Amino acid sequence: MDLELKDKVAVITGGSVGIGLAVAEGLAREGVHLVLCARNEERVKARAQEIADQYGVKAVGIHADVANGDDIDRLVAAIGAEFSDGVDILINNAGTGSEETIMDASDERWQYYWDLHVMAAVRLSRGLVPLMRKRGGGAIINNASICATQPLYYEPIYNVTKAALVMFSKCLANELVGDNIRVNTINPGLVLTPDWMKTATLLTENEPITPEQYLDKIAKGNAPIGRFASPEEVAHFFVFMCSPRASYCVGSSYYVDGGWLKVIT
């Protein structure tokens, strides 16, 4: 299937590792030019160069902490300078899990995750939609989580902010549909990212099981499919949703979760 993505321009936050990097590579295979942003400047520039060399597309790596409004302003300005004719795709992917109780979490902790998961998407959409209008439309994909609907007990702030991101996506979709800009949310389940490997390694440091055995237990205990997804498996769906082939998909949330979601939605 021709996804009609060649020579489109995509911006991906958290684009140097995990799902973001897998999406970047998937889009590059389709001939999409890229702006990757991440907090680790050395890594994001290296990944962008590797993608450019491998796939023959333009790929730019920009250092930015999207939880910081000033960094987003600088990022949007840099994107406008690199791609003055506009951009077609925004993937708000940057994010991370949390661990706290509501009773003990400080206001500052709540604010950090609000800025990272919600305000980053607000600010980047506000900054880049004018560049999408230049191109006659585009797609915004927000990476939320199954936890937006089916919360995990140990990360209430993550659950709440991801749920807010889903509602933001719905509202933005209604606002931008007349500009031929489609906004949707993808809610992944268990995805084997470096964060999961780091967590598993820490939790099994003094235990009689390996990190791999711990992750296998998590997968078999939660996802009917019995395993984690690879970042690439999730990325395939992101790439399709960025494509004109998904032209009737507007304002919806899609679960890529191996059957983990326990309700109909």
Which entry of 112, 113, 153, 158 is annotated as an active-site residue? 158
Side-chain-side CA neighbours of residue 29 (13 Å): 12
In the chain, the amino acid numbered 82 is E
Query: In whole angstroms, what separates CA 163 from the centre of its chain?
Result: 14
CA distance 190 to 25: 20
- Quick one: CA torsion of 18, 244, 137, 253, rounded to 10 degrees? -50
Largest CA distance in the chain: 57
CB 149 within 8 Å of CB 187: yes
Residue 255: active-site member: no
CA distance 65 to 72: 7
Which helix (H) or strand (E) is 63 found in, with range? strand 59-63
Neighbours of 217 (CB within 10 A): 12
Phi, psi of 102 (to 5 degrees): -60, -35
Residues 6+ apart with CB under 8 A from 260: 146, 150, 189, 190, 222, 223, 224
- Of 88, 92, 89, the residue nearest 67 (C-alpha): 92
Which residues are annotated as catalytic? Answer: 158
